[in-house]
Amino acid sequence: MALPENNEVKIKSQKVRGLLQSTGLVGIMTLLSRVFGLIRDVVVANLFGATAGADAFFIAFKIPNFFRRLFAEGAFSQAFIPVLSEYRRTKTERDVRLLANSVAGVLGGILFVITFLAIIGAPWLTAIFAPGFLDDAHKYSLATEMLRITFPYLFLISLTAFAGSILNSYGYFAIPAFTPVLLNLVLISAAVWLTPMFSEPVIGLAWGVFIAGVVQLFFQLPFLLKMGLLPRPRLDYQHEGVKRIFRLMLPALFGVSVSQINLLLDTVLASFLQTGSVSWLYYSDRLAELPLGIFGIAIATVILPSLSRKHAAKSEQEFSDTLDWALRIILLMGLPAALALIVLAEPLVTSLFYYGELSQQDVFMSAQSLRAYALGLLAFMLIKVLAPGYFSRQDMKTPVKIGIWAMCANMVFNLILIWPLQHTGLALATAISSWMNALWLLHGLVNQNVYRRSKGWGVFTFRIVFANVVMISLIYWMQVPTESWFLMDVWARASTLTQLVLFGVVAYFSVLILSGLNLKAMLGGALKH
């Protein structure tokens, strides 16, 4: 890890900023990433719509992206950060350096082998993750060809996530949070300049994914080097910390990424439905991911290192208070976001994607699945916050058990709902199973006496619900018919949508303040954690 050899640690971790400040920083960076992500999706929708080529690319991109969320940002980060935090508190800097070096070498070696095997086995992977494509030779061969190009992204982005985990552990949240912006910038550039160079233009997007992985990794390395935190990989499979991290990773694969597994299962089943179903789910998932990333993932990113430190210091009450604060913030921000997605589904899809190859039918279909995903948005956010309550204590078994039950429930609901509701049924099944997952996680933390609810939840919940009723009533009253959105130009859509959102936000927070909720005290309370 290239840390100084002397006993005095030259690199001091940034003084842990308040959770609110850190969450705000990560949220802003994530918002920037998601805005560029939406621009990327607008460009892709304009060029490729919901065609066979778009379906093939989304499969080729989703497979390595799924494994990324599973291994890199999911199980690995949740296992690595608590162990790293423990090493920093209880061992020497030399021990911390050896841990980082060994993890870098072992992780890199495993990822290289997986990537090599995946490139060779791309036809089988495509058949597994999109079996419905087997009936369409062109779509299947195109997805397979692009998967061979996109899968190395897993190797590159996993190492990027490893670097980001080190930075997060030392309190440097901005750099890892900004890094995803580069993915979207590269893909936008690829869509504009690379796609025209190929006989099958969508292949240019696949190369964009590969290039983005390289750019993101090499963006973070100079910061690690400057801080003296750059790992020097070594293959030490016997290192105690490495063995513990990978032992923790195995159960975490399910526990942290059940929602991603559920979304992937949606895609697998959607491949059997009519052409466009994969794209409809993708566009609606992307819109649901916007508030999830800004609030849910941002808070989860910040509280995991904080909870790990508090557990290592045996500060049980502070641990519970941190979770309590995170849950209140999720309800404060997540509920209005979910309701807004439900009420504004068609305007959002139309404003962002109704250009070029995307049809009005595609808009209506995407809006249906967006509403279904929105019903589970609050649950998605709660999972992101509740799961660290287990991972920070190095308890991986409990989330695994819960995750397996939730995944089984999702499959049952998929099979029940896909027939009457088609792709919308798949999204709804994911939402239902996510609620089961979130409630089971919460129940477990309460039963273990890890989380103890603070006073004032009843009044707080009433205020939130009342403010949301006022907000949604106002937005519904101000809305124009869906047909009118199709007739507007891009600037009229943007202006009208912005007005609806701003009026909704102002109404929501005004009602909260008038009802007596002290937002400044609530948010400022995070600084104590």
Q: One-letter amino acid identity for 343?
A: V
Contacts of 311 (CB under 8 A, 6+ apart): 82, 319, 392, 393
Are the beta carbons of 383 and 431 closer than 8 angstroms?
A: no
On whether the CB atoms of residues 29 and 181 are closer than 8 A, the answer is: yes
Q: Which residues contact 193 (CB under 8 A, 6 or more apart)?
A: none
Residue 3 near residue 287 (C-beta atoms within 8 A): no
CB atoms within 10 A of CB 287: 25
* Contact yes or no for 342/371 (Cβ under 8 A): yes
Question: Using CA atoms, how far apart are residues 448 and 264, in angstroms rounded to an integer?
Answer: 32
Encode pLDDT of 499-510 as tens digits.
Answer: 999 999 999 999
Burial class (CB in 10 A: 0-12, 13-18, 19+), 404: middle
CA 11 to CA 171: how far, in whole Å?
Answer: 12
Closest by alpha carbon to 490, among 47, 48, 49, 42?
42
**362 dihedral zone (left: phi>0; alpha: psi -120 to 50; beta):** alpha
Indicate the Cα dihedral angle 187, 191, 197, 201, nearest 10°: 110
For 100-109, letters b (16+ CB in 10 Å) and e give bbbbbbbbbe
| CA–CA separation, 505 and 485 (whole Å) | 21
Name which of 338, 330, 274 is nearest 303 in CA terms: 330
CA atoms within 13 A on the CB side of 20: 14
Q: Output the pLDDT for position 528.
A: 44
Judged by phi (left if over 0) then psi (alpha if -120 to 50, else beta), residue 399 lies in alpha
The half-sphere exposure of 412 on its side-chain side, counting CA atoms within 13 A, is: 8
DSSP string, 486-516: HHS-HHHHHHHHHHHHHHHHHHHHHHHHHTT
Exposure letters 357-371 (e unless 16+ CB within 10 A, then b): bbeeebbebbbbbbb
Quick one: tokens of 37? 């992500």
Residue-wise pLDDT for 343-392, tens only, equals: 999 999 998 877 766 788 889 999 999 999 999 999 989 988 898 888 78
Cα–Cα dist 392/319, whole Å: 10
CA 260/CA 473 separation, integer angstroms: 33
Q: What is the C-alpha to C-alpha distance for residues 303 and 318, in angstroms, rounded to an integer? A: 12
- The amino acid that residue 518 corresponds to is N
Q: Confirm if 140 and 131 have CB atoms less than 8 A apart.
A: no
Residue 74: what pLDDT?
61
Q: Are residues 367 and 328 in contact, defined by beta-carbon separation less than 8 angstroms?
A: no
Q: How far apart are CA 416 and CA 393, in angstroms?
A: 37
Which regions of 40-197 does DSSP assign to beta strands (E)? Answer: none
The list of the chain residues with pLDDT below 50 reads 1-17, 525-529
Do residues 73 and 180 make contact, with C-beta atoms less than 8 angstroms apart? Answer: no
The separation between the first and the last C-alpha atoms of the chain, rounded to the nearest angstrom, is: 29
Question: Residue 147's pLDDT is what?
Answer: 94
User: CA 276 to CA 267: how far, in whole Å?
Assistant: 11
Q: At 95, which amino acid appears? A: D
Residues 6+ apart with CB under 8 A from 289: 34, 37
Distance CA 516, CA 137 (A): 62
Question: By 3-state DSSP, what share of the chain in percent is helix, strand and coil, each rounded to 5?
Answer: 85, 0, 15
Residue 308: how many CA atoms within 13 Å on its side-chain side? 30
